[in-house]
Chains A and B, each alone.
Chain A
Amino acid sequence: MAKYIGKRLLRSLLTLFIIITIVFSLLRLMPVEGYFQNFEKMSSTQIRVGLQQLGLTDPLPVQMAKFWKGVFQGDLGVSHKYRVGVSVLDIIGGKMPLSLSIGLCSLGIALLLGLPLGILMARSTRTRWKIGDRLGTVFVVVIQAVPAAVYYLLIQFYGGRLPGASMFFDAGRPATWLLPIFSLALGNIAYYAMWLRRYMVDESNKDYVKLARAKGVPTAEISRKHIFRNAFVPLVQFIPTSVILTLMGSLYVESLYSIPGMGGLLVTAIQTQDNTLVQALVLIYAAISILGLLVGDILMAILDPRITLGQKEGGR
């Protein structure tokens, strides 16, 4: 196992290099006119000088080499469009903690509410009227069906009128945190409840569960110790990635409540062709998402000892 993890970490470095190379080359395919605001009025000399200042006239390998040299010295460059002249790391460092804390709160709430909801739904499929399952399904279906952009708006519109709450975010007032956190959590609650229900229903039809039931093991114990334990394995793989995704923030929610977080930073950076910012963001996101996949695999192997990750005798 340790050997496998070590190998995968080493390979990840190579992958990171490939990702950056691809993104780097793709960024150089972007239209030249995107780098300047008044492209039509500029003379060809002005354009050449402008490109030279951005370091875009060098051949691609030279640009790459410069970038990697900077990375190893801990310098990811300076933004030249989003906030001109500010170090990219400062921009990201100022935004990330906010997105992270909002995201983690909402993920915590989603797990705390979503998992019990899933268990409740799965257990109620065995009762006569399936009330819990039906009500839960209605909730899941509504959240899945209405586009997030629309129900976020409705929450802001009607939730903003509640006493204490506000249509806009203010880091100093805890009450204003509630609506964005709640909005973000809804989607995840539905996701975890939906899949946990599916896995638990599949699991509860298996023979060993029937045997346990026949032997007279209490239903609560079966569902906690046997069904949930097995049904949770496929979900656990996604949890590290979910945690990491909170770093990226949410474009919709953050722009609605005007939260100065990471949400939409990448999209804005790409659209304004702020190359250094894009490269830095891709580097950071890629590194942590590769790690997320690996941590997910390890968690899965820990939770279910039958899963082995490394190369095994007889495995294909």
Chain B
Amino acid sequence: MALFRYKDSKTQALADHLNETAQRQFTQEELFQFAPYDPDAGERGGYSGYSYWRSTLRAFRKDRTAMFFLCVIALTLLFTFLEPLIPYDRQPNTIYYTERAEINLFTRQPVLDENGDPVVKVSLAKDLAPGKEFWFGTNTIGQDLWSQIWAGTRNSLAIGFAVACVDALLGILVGVLWGYVRKLDFLFTELYNVFDNVPQTLLVIIISYILRPGMGTMIFAMCLTSWLQTARFVRNQVVIIRDRDYNLASRCLGTSTWHIITRNLLPYLVSIITMRMALAIPAAINNEVFITYIGLGVPLETPTLGNLVEAGRKVMSEAALRYQLFIPVIILATITISFYIIGNAFADAADPKNHVN
């Protein structure tokens, strides 16, 4: 019979040992002997089985709203890849034609042929409202908006993820070193100042001029500057906590800088960093919208949400054409809202003090 039972496999060794000792019959001499030093015994210990990330995930999963929006993002992502497979044979860049009844310009009546039927004429399928033939309608040059929007969402999310990854990696690394290591304060402060003050517009122009304009070039140009704000943000947080007593104690005990960073500083900042990262993807997409607005976006044959919003903005004054603006904006808004809610919920869950209740 096992007297002691532990849930976690890591403590199995301890449990086995305790059970074995409890059941053994000791002789009188054995009981009053000194126990020899056994390094293996030192390794056995009361391991609580608490995992920070597992608890965080558990707290996160309890948040229904956040789980809902996580599903929304997952489905959107999945759908952008599945969309080309559904039986709707329109291409994003093809210009379509449609058959329309010919209208007499003076009488505004349909032109009739000798049998009394309206004359049908093939014309450019431009500015058609959403309907059966074109699910989201067509734009001003007769391209199908449904396929444009999903291709655009796919491209924009790709830009967003790529830029946010670089943003997170470089931003956190530079930010922590900049904030914590005082000897590097000089280097990084000036590096930040240099990178922050070379105008992004100039960089985008020069890079598109040297390299071929397109998605890759755009991602590269945006990565060059996107990490700056994250780095500054993380750095400010680190400066605030770097001289707190627990860090001072760690330094006095001779803990290495790397260890302090990964064990003392970053765990403290998890909630704030996750929120920042969740906003990085929509921020990158919105930055792309801005770059398109000033006329430096990716070429029009690569649809992105930036291109679509910009095209929609131009026709906004005509009420009948506003669907061209509202559809991409709704998709963009859905993505941003989802990431914001997920980020906020994860940040709440990342605080260990919220794990208990």
A141 with B341: CB separation less than 8 A: yes
Chain B residue numbers with a CB within 8 Å of A264 are 294
Q: Chain B's nearest CB lies how many Å from the CB of A129?
A: 15
Residue B277 at the A interface, CB < 8 A? no
B325 with A150: CB separation less than 8 A: yes
A234 with B193: CB separation less than 8 A: no
Complex interface bits, B67-82 against A, C-beta within 8 A gives 1, otherwise 0: 0000000000000000
The CA of A308 and the CA of B244, in the complex, are separated in Å by: 11
Q: For residue A199, which residue of chain B has the nearest CB?
A: B272
Given contacts A300-B239, A307-B243, A316-B181, contact A150 B193 (CB under 8 A): no
Given contacts A144-B279, A149-B293, A289-B196, contact A267 B244 (CB under 8 A): no
- Which range contains the number of A residues in contact with the other chain? 35 or more
The residue from A8, A14, A147 contacting B329, defined by CB atoms under 8 A apart:
A147
The CA of A31 and the CA of B209, in the complex, are separated in Å by: 8
Q: Chain B's nearest CB lies how many Å from the CB of A229?
A: 13
The residue from A26, A144, A202, A300 contacting B351, defined by CB atoms under 8 A apart:
A202
A contact patch SS: helix
Flag the segment in A48-56, A74-82, A278-286 that touches B: A278-286
Given contacts A26-B198, A27-B202, A145-B336, contact A271 B192 (CB under 8 A): no
Chain B residue numbers with a CB within 8 Å of A27 are 202
The CA of A198 and the CA of B347, in the complex, are separated in Å by: 9
The CA of A307 and the CA of B348, in the complex, are separated in Å by: 26
B198 with A22: CB separation less than 8 A: yes
Residue B309 at the A interface, CB < 8 A? yes
Residue A11 at the B interface, CB < 8 A? yes
Q: For residue A150, which residue of chain B has the nearest CB?
A: B329
The CA of A141 and the CA of B313, in the complex, are separated in Å by: 21
The CA of A147 and the CA of B334, in the complex, are separated in Å by: 12
A314 with B248: CB separation less than 8 A: yes
Q: For residue A241, which residue of chain B has the nearest CB?
A: B232
Complex interface bits, B196-210 against A, C-beta within 8 A gives 1, otherwise 0: 111101110110011
The residue from B239, B340, B347 contacting A141, defined by CB atoms under 8 A apart:
B340
B193 with A289: CB separation less than 8 A: yes
Residue B109 at the A interface, CB < 8 A? no
The B-contacting residues of A in range 34-63, CB under 8 angstroms, are: none
Flag the segment in B44-52, B140-148, B167-175, B183-191 that touches A: B183-191
B243 with A251: CB separation less than 8 A: no
Residue B122 at the A interface, CB < 8 A? no
Partner-A contacts on B (CB < 8 A)? 180-183, 186, 189-190, 192-194, 196-199, 201-203, 205-206, 209-210, 232, 236-237, 239-240, 242-244, 248, 251-252, 257, 271-272, 275, 279, 282, 286, 289-290, 293-295, 309-310, 313, 316, 325, 329, 332-334, 336-337, 340-341, 344, 347-348, 351, 353-354
Chain B residue numbers with a CB within 8 Å of A289 are 193, 196-197
Chain B residue numbers with a CB within 8 Å of A297 are 239
The residue in B232, B236, B251, B354 that gathers the most chain A C-beta atoms within 10 A of its C-beta is: B236
B197 with A314: CB separation less than 8 A: no
Chain B residue numbers with a CB within 8 Å of A205 are 351, 353-354
Residue A311 at the B interface, CB < 8 A? yes
Q: For residue B182, which residue of chain A has the nearest CB?
A: A315
Given contacts A29-B210, A147-B329, 18 further A-B contacts (CB under 8 A): A11-B189, A11-B190, A18-B194, A26-B202, A26-B203, A29-B206, A30-B205, A145-B340, A146-B333, A148-B286, A198-B271, A201-B348, A251-B293, A251-B294, A293-B189, A293-B193, A314-B248, A316-B251
Q: Chain A's nearest CB lies how many Å from the CB of B108?
A: 29
Q: Chain A's nearest CB lies how many Å from the CB of B319?
A: 11
Given contacts A23-B202, A141-B341, contact A308 B197 (CB under 8 A): no
Q: For residue B316, which residue of chain A has the nearest CB?
A: A153
B196 with A146: CB separation less than 8 A: no
The residue from A202, A278, A293 contacting B271, defined by CB atoms under 8 A apart:
A202
Residue A87 at the B interface, CB < 8 A? no
B198 with A300: CB separation less than 8 A: no
Chain B residue numbers with a CB within 8 Å of A26 are 198, 202-203, 206
B279 with A147: CB separation less than 8 A: no
B192 with A293: CB separation less than 8 A: yes
A278 with B286: CB separation less than 8 A: no
The CA of A181 and the CA of B318, in the complex, are separated in Å by: 26
Given contacts A285-B197, A307-B243, contact A316 B183 (CB under 8 A): yes
Q: Chain A's nearest CB lies how many Å from the CB of B295?
A: 7
Chain A residue numbers with a CB within 8 Å of B199 are 23, 266-267, 270, 278, 282
Complex interface bits, A65-79 against B, C-beta within 8 A gives 1, otherwise 0: 000000000000000
The residue from B232, B240, B251 contacting A233, defined by CB atoms under 8 A apart:
B240
The CA of A254 and the CA of B280, in the complex, are separated in Å by: 26
A149 with B313: CB separation less than 8 A: yes
Given contacts A149-B309, A300-B239, A316-B183, contact A270 B329 (CB under 8 A): no
Residue A188 at the B interface, CB < 8 A? no
Given contacts A300-B239, A307-B240, contact A150 B313 (CB under 8 A): yes
